Amino acid sequence: MTRWCIKHRSIVAIISIFIFLGGLYIYNEMERQENPDVASPGATIQVIYPGATPEDVEKFIIKPLEKRIAEISEVKRMQSYALDSVGVIVVRLHDLSDAEIEKAWNSLKDKVSDAEADFPDQAWSPKIDTDLVETYGMLMTLSGKDVDYKELKSIADEIKNKIEKEKGVSEVKLEGYENDEVQVDLDILKMRQFQLSIDTVAKLLAARNVNIPGGNLELAGSKLPVTTTGEYKEVEEIKNTIVGMSSRGNVIYLKDIANVQKVEKKRDTYISYKGEKALLLAVKYADGQNVVRVGKRLNAQIDDFRKAMPEGVTINIITDQAQYVDESIKNFEKNLMSAIFLVVVVVLLTMGWRSALVVSTSIPITVMFTFVFMKMTGVILHQVSISSLIVCLGLLVANAIVANDNMYLYLSKGRAKEEAIVEGIREVNIPILTSTLTTIASFLPLLMMQGVAGKFIKTLPLLVTVALMSSYICSLTAVPVMGYTFLKVEDKKAENPKKKKGIKQFFTSQYEWLLDFAIKRPRTVIALAIGALLGSGLLIPTLGLQLFPFVERDQYVIDVSTMDGNSLEKTREVTGQIEKILQEEPSVENYLLKVGDGIPKFYTSFFPNQIATNKAQFIVNGKKEEIKNIQHKLDGEIAGARIEAKQLENAVPVGMPVQIRVSGEDVDVLRKISKDIKEQLYEIQEGYNVQDDYGLEVQKMIVEVNQEKANMSGITNYDIGKMVRMVVNGLEITKIKPDDSDEDVAVVMKIPTEDKSNKEILENIYVTSQVTKKNVPLMQIAEIRNEFAINKILRRDRERTITVGLYPKDGHTASELLKIVEDKMEGYELPMGYTMVFGGENEDRTEAFKSLIGPFYLAAALIYLVLVFQFFDLRKPLIIMGTIPLSFIGVIWGLKITGYPIGFMALMGGVSLMGIVVNNGIVLLDYINTLSCSGMEVKTAVKEASLTRLRPIMIGMITTVIGLVPMGLSGGSLWAPLAYSIIFGLLVSSVLTMLVIPAAFMTFDNSTKANSLIISRIKGKLKKKKNKEVENPGQA
């Protein structure tokens, strides 16, 4: 292949240029995003059961669903929430392929459909959502302090319509505006006077508001569509609806028994921007788009909108994915270019400009070929994919360095240029392939990792493998062509030999002294290395554990939970206090508040709040370093609410970092156990914010139906529930579409409470029997009372479960706090039938760390297999494998020095090191083996090989390390631990390898000689004994 490439240099050059230009074009056009798509195998099932208590929801909705869903083998976990009038189940699957996940969701839909057959008639059809990771790329507000909602809505609609037409936008959602509604306030006394039932009036209004197609009329050979019209257009039409006749024969209009008016609908949610009422626009980017370009077009359009805004109205961008993607990609581009520059400089300083030119050829070709591969396989450009190239950059150059050195070696021997190039490449072909395969063997098994962590880093081992294989091909094709064109022996003559000799001699003499010691006392050197490894292991408990770090973004979330049962107004009183603190905080640039519902999902690991009037959520754009200060102020100045300021996470949030889950049948017993546990946890000084997920009991009005009396009266629970809902919240009867609006307006029937309580109204309400058509007083068939009760029942894997948890204080980790909690709870006796499980961060962390064990063992097995084929020996590869643990010394000290905890990325760096580290051992041991097999005395061979291979091993190590320095310095808390693990691990292991392998080889050789001596002595004794038996056969 090499000879063909040299003879057809122009073809190789054209192909290389084509790859470079093609890769460059693809890079500019590639889809971009901040992080990989991590498909969470989860779904939610929601069922509305109007008027039902949590107990009824659990019995009639949750349990039938759980029973069916449990039949799906792919389901890993179920978490259920039985609330007033609604049941929610969150389903998590095992780690599966995309096809298996799709199959599981189809099974889920079938099982939910089966369970629906057992639901009460009043329950609504289940709503299934299998996409829990879809995010909105841009959130913006339209706000104005002295502007009414209608004006804001008009402007927002115009903006929404224009943005929806923008290429690259798939959806625009408007939130925060409530349409007007037609409110029909019934006068119960007048209805009783005219003997009209609520149900009758409701049905008449609905029946009047119709538009029914009449079909087609055949006329003169053509069809004429016929339509019956009768829809309401105006409030006056509703008022004049005939609802009955009086006993005197007079027509009764709706306006005779009700006050009908168009009013502003009572708000279910409230949105504000920096204290001003606002509407929220959430923009979702289309798949397959370069979000940076789409975002720039949108920002330009928004700038135009701003210029046309009326006075007092402002458009504010809260979060823009395109901006973060652009910053992230540019940062990694800078790191990549810095790494390339530093590697080239190292090669230039150590090998000369001609060799540097030859070696550096492999970088752009390999990188651009990787971009071509990404386009062909649908891999998106994000921080993980670019980091893959940075990680392997120094490794890419290593192949070219080896090829260049050997080509130059043959040129310096006076060989003809073509023969020197061909022979030089042929000789190192297999060693280069072996070192490439061992490196790939350490990365490729990472593809088998499961879970969110495995999906997050999936592109890294894939792209490293592709880049390394392309660099190997490049070292056999483009590198020899460049070597044939540029390499000359005269390059060495131009160097400053005196300077080079002085530097080289100093380091060589220092190394030679250590090497002599290793050869003379090999067991001592090995013992010292093992001691260093064990001693470094003592530092592990001091490093701390963290699965993934927080997102390094000057943006954070504040979650607010007031007392269960609080109204929107009560919750706004609390959020008003929070807003005051934020407005006085100089580090806060702006913020978005949403009360009563969660903010749309804008980041992969962010989960919106549930719809509840006692909950609120903030997005704050401000310095992340001030989060603890903000939290301290919130805790000190606001009471009666649970408020948590927190950074966005790179992994799926687990809630409370340290958790105790107690499961059992009786909710009262669970709450008693929870109370006991909280009293214990309050005593722990290392933790704070002790809480459980049930909260306090709330006052509720209970309408307890006497089923026997209701059945005798022909009244169903649905009839009662509908009447109760009408009193409490009103009941939507129909919708109208005014001529002056595109929005439907709901017609809501209510019973005004005025100065009476809901209980008083209900005590005097009548329910119409669907069987007898008679009106029955509610008090005759139900008991109405106020009492304190729970407003939710929580279940986990089909068991009622209460979770108690707390947070670690500054200076303490979740793993440390968990150990303290476990010790504290040791000996706590649970009632019969109840179980306790400790959880929180440690569960996901343990699962992720365990997922690295398989790849670690597989990588070790693959590396050993490659080495066996390299040396055709089962024992010598063990010498090289023994250098792998030495790298962990550097990993541990690297994390200690840089201050990073042991996390997933640091451990992944350790696994990746395996293949990188053994390459040094391969180069050294292979040459020792060659010299010793040629007849050279073992000690001489070890020393000669070690001194000869010192320079290329150190250059290879320096290029790999220097290529990772930019990532270590500016890769942030996510990527820096991986970079430093490899940097320090490779530095330490490279130095120790140059001493341990010579020592290990000497020990191996000595033991081999000792074994041979023992065997020869045994053979000698057996031979003497045999001879003696021959000489004295009688004695035998």
Report the DSSP pairing between strands 641-647 and 782-789.
unpaired
Instruction: Using alpha carbons, list the distances in angstroms from residue 130 to 111, 430, 560.
Output: 14, 50, 27
- State residue 803's pLDDT score: 93
What string of H, E and C letters represents the secondary structure of 88-115?
A: EEEEEECCCCHHHHHHHHHHHHHHHHHH
Contacts of residue 245, defined as CB under 8 A and 6 or more positions apart, other chains included, come to: 251, 252
CA 298 to CA 167: how far, in whole Å?
10
Residues of the chain with pLDDT under 50: 491-495, 499, 1009-1015, 1036
What pTM did the predictor assign? 0.80
CA 337 to CA 326: how far, in whole Å?
16
CA 355 to CA 491: how far, in whole Å?
9
CA 634 to CA 580: how far, in whole Å?
10
The candidate with the shortest Cα–Cα distance to 2, out of 569, 407, 559, 524, is 407
Element (H, E) at 911: helix 904-933
Q: How many CA atoms lie within 13 A of 777 on its CB side?
A: 8
CA 669 to CA 666: how far, in whole Å?
5
Q: Are 108 and 69 in contact (CB under 8 A)?
A: yes
Rg of the chain over all Cα atoms, to the nearest angstrom: 38
The candidate with the shortest Cα–Cα distance to 995, out of 935, 958, 943, 1036, is 943
Domains, the chain, ranges and CATH?
Answer: 1-17+352-495 (1.20.1640.10), 42-129 (3.30.70.1430), 138-179+268-324+551-647 (3.30.70.1320), 180-264+699-789 (3.30.2090.10), 506-538+852-1036 (1.20.1640.10), 658-697+792-847 (3.30.70.1440)
DSSP string for residues in 922-979 = HHHHHHHHHHHHTT--HHHHHHHHHHHHHHHHHHHHHHHHHHHHHHHHHSHHHHHHHH
The candidate with the shortest Cα–Cα distance to 648, out of 261, 974, 204, is 974
- Residue 282 pairs in a beta bridge with 139, 173
Contacts of residue 935, defined as CB under 8 A and 6 or more positions apart, other chains included, come to: none
Instruction: Using alpha carbons, list the distances in angstroms from residue 406 to 9, 403, 480, 484, 660.
Output: 20, 5, 11, 13, 63
- State residue 510's pLDDT score: 82
| Digit-coded pLDDT (tens) for 904-957 | 888 888 888 888 888 888 878 887 887 888 888 888 888 888 888 787 788 878
Length of the chain (residues):
1036
Burial class of residue 138 (count of CB atoms within 10 Å of its CB; 0-12, 13-18, 19+): buried
How many other β-carbons are positioned within 10 Å of the β-carbon of residue 94? Answer: 15
Contacts of residue 658, defined as CB under 8 A and 6 or more positions apart, other chains included, come to: 687, 805, 806, 807, 808, 814, 817, 818, 821, 838, 840, 841
Instruction: Using alpha carbons, list the distances in angstroms from residue 864 to 719, 858, 879, 887, 911.
Output: 75, 10, 10, 17, 14
| Digit-coded pLDDT (tens) for 37-81 | 765 678 899 998 877 888 999 999 999 999 999 999 999 999 999
- State residue 750's pLDDT score: 86
Contacts of residue 870, defined as CB under 8 A and 6 or more positions apart, other chains included, come to: 430, 431, 434, 877, 922, 926
Contacts of residue 552, defined as CB under 8 A and 6 or more positions apart, other chains included, come to: 624, 972, 973, 974
| Chain centre to alpha carbon of residue 240 | 58
Q: Are 21 and 318 in contact (CB under 8 A)?
A: no
Q: Are 977 and 912 in contact (CB under 8 A)?
A: no
The candidate with the shortest Cα–Cα distance to 358, out of 474, 513, 498, 209, is 474
DSSP string for residues in 746-764 = EEEEE---TTS-HHHHHHT
Q: With the C-alpha atoms ordered 71, 72, 74, 77, is the resulting torsion angle positive or negative?
A: negative
Element (H, E) at 799: strand 799-808
Q: To which residue do tokens 């050195």 refer?
A: 405
